């Protein structure tokens, strides 16, 4: 069995820009869905898959606006 390496992942949501009643573009702030979390995984791809499975169901229809960030520890 391969050794696990330590990775940190976080999941962010970046809302789409919208226009207010005056016609001005407004961009809501991005939000953290899953705070930075440490995980043991074989590689960064596996760590990303672990993080992806933890995305709450409420974002299922907006996955194109969700970003999974993985970095080695």
How much of the chain, in percent, has pLDDT values that exceed 70? 99
Does residue 62 register a pLDDT over 70? Answer: yes
Stretch 17-27: mean pLDDT:
79
Q: How far apart are CA 69 and CA 64, in angstroms?
A: 14
Tally of domains within the chain: 1
Question: What is the extent of the structural domain holding 32?
Answer: 5-72
Stretch 13-42: mean pLDDT:
89
pTM: 0.84
């Amino acid at each position: 069995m391969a050794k696990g390496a330590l990775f940190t992942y976080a999941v962010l949501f970046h809302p789409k820009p919208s226009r207010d009643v005056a016609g001005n573009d407004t961009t809501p702030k991005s939000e953290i869905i899953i705070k930075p979390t440490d995980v043991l995984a074989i590689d960064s791809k596996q760590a990303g898959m672990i993080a992806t499975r933890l995305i709450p169901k409420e974002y299922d229809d907006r996955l194109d606006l969700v970003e999974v960030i993985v970095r080695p520890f």
